Chain A
Amino acid sequence: MDALLLQILNGLDKGSAYALIALGLTLIFGTLGVVNFAHGALFMIGAFCSVTLNKILNLSTVTLDATQKDFLGNPLKVKTPYVESWFGEAAGQSIIDWSVPLAIIFAIPVMLAIGVIMERGLIKHFYKRPHADQILVTFGLAIVLQEVVKAFFGANPIQTPAPDALDGVMDLGGAIGLQLSYPVWRITYFFFAMAVIGGVFAFLRFTTFGMVVRAGMADRETVGLLGINIDKKFTIMFGIAAAVAGLAGVMYTPINPPNYHWGMDFLVLSFVVVVVGGMGSLPGAVLAGFLLGILESFASTTWATTTIPGINQIIIYLVAIIILLVRPRGLMGRAGVMEE
């Protein structure tokens, strides 16, 4: 029982990341009808927003302290980050400590801007072209974005620690009499993902803007004929989808140090998630994200890997292939949407 629960929990954090990326992909596909191979790169850029903010906060003035000596006997160089000299030592240190959550505020406008620029500058011109062209141009864009990040940040993973308060291990099972200790940050990530997903759904459900967007997803032409500038709304949705992917990346950095080829790694899996959930279905994308995440974590148990070696590496693809062949529209896809 403990082991079962633990595996489900283990699957939740990866599942949250899959769900968030797949949600963005589905939003873009549902609104604009574009297959975005650069979506993984947006996730990666989000992660590097967090790295950038961390670096900015750590910018420091260097002073020589004559009272202390380093091991060579020279006066010790003392680095004081600017934030510490501005806000006082304690406040400054806690700002640096909380850099990852703070990066959310930093990443939202950046990612929105990147999304809108991408849509207006490039993808707009590809609506009328075949899907193959859309795949190819966004694939090229993904390479470019990845290489630009590599040129600035180098090829090695960069450690970005979580705040101390959220960094430890928590005992979850105490209340129900089980032994379950689990990293706090991963639980935070799960709740954060749920909040973002809930936010997106609420936005689409309960605002006028969201209503128009949903109407546009159902029948773009009629909405346009009613005198609504649907293109503009869809552009903003692209920005929101980029921001969702970016936020997923920001919060994922303490779990796994970000790397320039994260985008490609997650992209393939999130496409699989979208297809399993059903192309164009938002709840399907979220559901499939969590399902596949949990499935992957079950396949990584020692029992599974000793029975079938390497099953954890292939389980997701295997499931995707079976689903696509048995139920082509995916778990929650509507009949007739992109079935061919």
Chain B
Amino acid sequence: MLNLNQRDTGTFLFVIIITVLAPFVMNPFPTESAMAQFNAGYPDLMQRFVIFGIFAIGFNILFGLTGYLSFGHAAFLGVGSYAAVWMFKLLSYNIIPALVLSVIIAGIFSLFIGFLCLRRSGIYFSILTLAFAQMSFAIAYSVLSNPKFNLTNGETGLQVYADDIQLFKVENLTTPHLFGVKMNSTYELTLGAWDFQFNVGYYVSAVVMILMFYVSIRIFRSPFGLMLRAVKTNQTRLNYTGLNTRPYTLAAFVISGMYAGLAGGLLASMDPLAGAERMQWTASGEVVLMTILGGAGTLLGPVLGAGFIKYFENILSKINDNVLHAWFQYLPEWLENSLVWVLHWFTGKGWHLTLGLLFMIIVIFLPGGLMDGANRIREAIRGRKAKKNAKTPAE
């Protein structure tokens, strides 16, 4: 199907089914039950799953295939967001021109940065991209928000005001929409004890993500993708065969930058506000984390990683001491209190600690990420010798 081999078709269909049925899949617990706080089926979170999925898929094209570890991809996400909000301010709230412009601007920006950074590799590349991203953050935060030339609106964040130009303004449409269908409109379906939410913004983002996932499969299986893998495996050897690798790595860099820009544009389409903190290097670190956690160089990994991290970010940070006490109320009091005391450090405000620990554990014990772990478990169940497949890269 669609020029994919059987296995890729399976993966692709799996992603389509999961994303389409996400409002059901993410919402397994009845609304009134105690477990309801583990539900992720609300629009805001589901949108972030797919949008950061796009971001991570794009990052994976660079890092997973070529091995170039960029610490500055959040800059492209931020640029995409700013471009999208500017389109809202100048044209109208329709998201199509906003997305198009955010991809174009992010592409141009990443072409410029990639052209400079890709002259070095290894640690130098990481540090150069980091420096560029920090510089973009500083520029967006302070340089471009002076009263004379206010492009980013500094600390407040760029947003649409009532007196903005909006050339093709449509009355009654004061939030982002797709030809009149508002992004924030949600259809609620009540089935017994369950409430399911179907959000327009989520489905728009999901369709975009499915398309982008398809593009990434095609890139992975193309001669171009093979060339990128060759760069990762042995760049020196490629150079000795008389081949200039820079155009290939630059193309990969620009493609992943455009993915990031698209993700940024979608973020702005869901909530028309762009702030500089999206460009900070911790945000770049987050996408690295998602990709590694899911499994760099695999197709499905980055999407899984993005979902995993966004889920824990939301769910863990909601668990406070009262919730913990409610969980353990059946235990003896001393045990309840000590358990709550221990878990207190890892949940609620402390979820970053859990994230850091999780990250270390993954890098130390499971460098191939979740996908590698799943493969290992599958091998163990089948009882095959793991040795045979240990050397092949995870797919």
Within 8 Å of chain B (Cβ to Cβ): is A147?
yes
Also in contact, A151 and B345, with CB within 8 A (given A136-B292, A314-B135): yes
Within 8 Å of chain B (Cβ to Cβ): is A218?
no
Distance of A320 Cα from B131 Cα, bound (Å): 8
Q: Which of B120, B126, B285, B359 contacts A328 (CB 8 A)?
A: B120
The interface bits of chain A over 112-138 (1 if a CB of B lies within 8 angstroms of the residue's CB, else 0) are 000000000010010001011101110
Distance of A325 Cα from B132 Cα, bound (Å): 13
Q: Report the interface size for chain B: residues with CB under 8 A from the other chain.
A: 41
Also in contact, A264 and B282, with CB within 8 A (given A320-B131, A324-B128, A338-B122): yes
The interface bits of chain A over 306-325 (1 if a CB of B lies within 8 angstroms of the residue's CB, else 0) are 00011101100110110011
Q: Which of A140, A141, A310, A324 contacts B124 (CB 8 A)?
A: A324
Q: Across the interface, do B126 and A135 meet the contact criterion of CB distance under 8 Å?
A: yes
B162 to chain A, nearest CB (A): 28
- Taking CB atoms and an 8 Å cut-off, the chain B residues in 168-215 that contact chain A are none
Nearest residue, chain A, Cβ from B144: A310
Also in contact, A147 and B356, with CB within 8 A (given A275-B127, A325-B119, A338-B124): yes
- Taking CB atoms and an 8 Å cut-off, the chain B residues in 345-359 that contact chain A are 345, 350, 352-353, 355-357, 359
Binds A, one of B79-87, B101-109, B244-252, B360-368: B360-368
Q: Across the interface, do A321 and B138 meet the contact criterion of CB distance under 8 Å?
A: no
Also in contact, A313 and B292, with CB within 8 A (given A141-B360, A321-B128, A325-B116): no
Distance of A125 Cα from B365 Cα, bound (Å): 11
Also in contact, A321 and B116, with CB within 8 A (given A125-B364, A314-B135): yes
A17 to chain B, nearest CB (A): 17
Q: Which of A150, A309, A321 contacts B143 (CB 8 A)?
A: A309
Distance of A324 Cα from B125 Cα, bound (Å): 10
Within 8 Å of chain B (Cβ to Cβ): is A70?
no
Q: Specify which chain A residues have a CB less than 8 angstroms from the CB of B363 in the assembled complex.
A: 133, 136-137, 140
A274 to chain B, nearest CB (A): 8
Nearest residue, chain A, Cβ from B137: A313
Q: Specify which chain B residues have a CB less than 8 angstroms from the CB of A310 in the assembled complex.
A: 138-139, 142-144, 146
B: residues with CB less than 8 A from A are 67, 69, 116, 119-124, 126-128, 130-132, 134-135, 138-139, 141-144, 146, 281-282, 285, 288, 292, 345, 350, 352-353, 355-357, 359-360, 363-364, 367
Interface of chain A: mostly helix, strand, loop or mixed: helix
Q: Specify which chain B residues have a CB less than 8 angstroms from the CB of A144 in the assembled complex.
A: 353, 356-357, 360
A-B contact pairs, 10 of them (CB 8 A): A136-B288, A151-B353, A309-B146, A311-B143, A313-B138, A314-B139, A320-B131, A321-B131, A328-B120, A340-B120
Q: Specify which chain B residues have a CB less than 8 angstroms from the CB of A131 in the assembled complex.
A: 122-123
Q: Across the interface, do A340 and B122 meet the contact criterion of CB distance under 8 Å?
A: yes
Q: Across the interface, do A268 and B130 meet the contact criterion of CB distance under 8 Å?
A: yes
- Contacts A148-B353, A310-B146, A325-B119 known; 13 new A-B pairs at CB < 8 A: A122-B364, A129-B367, A140-B357, A144-B356, A144-B357, A147-B356, A264-B282, A310-B142, A313-B138, A317-B132, A317-B134, A320-B127, A338-B124
Distance of A321 Cα from B125 Cα, bound (Å): 11
Interface residues on A, range: 35 or more
Q: Across the interface, do A140 and B360 meet the contact criterion of CB distance under 8 Å?
A: yes
Q: Specify which chain B residues have a CB less than 8 angstroms from the CB of A122 in the assembled complex.
A: 364
Q: Specify which chain B residues have a CB less than 8 angstroms from the CB of A324 in the assembled complex.
A: 120, 124, 127-128
Q: Across the interface, do A313 and B122 meet the contact criterion of CB distance under 8 Å?
A: no
Q: Across the interface, do B367 and A275 meet the contact criterion of CB distance under 8 Å?
A: no
Q: Specify which chain B residues have a CB less than 8 angstroms from the CB of A313 in the assembled complex.
A: 138-139, 141-143
Q: Across the interface, do B67 and A132 meet the contact criterion of CB distance under 8 Å?
A: yes
B353 to chain A, nearest CB (A): 4
B252 to chain A, nearest CB (A): 16
Q: Specify which chain A residues have a CB less than 8 angstroms from the CB of B359 in the assembled complex.
A: 136, 139-140, 143
Q: Specify which chain A residues have a CB less than 8 angstroms from the CB of B132 in the assembled complex.
A: 317, 321
Q: Specify which chain A residues have a CB less than 8 angstroms from the CB of B121 in the assembled complex.
A: 340
Q: Across the interface, do A151 and B350 meet the contact criterion of CB distance under 8 Å?
A: yes
Q: Specify which chain A residues have a CB less than 8 angstroms from the CB of B143 in the assembled complex.
A: 309-311, 313-314
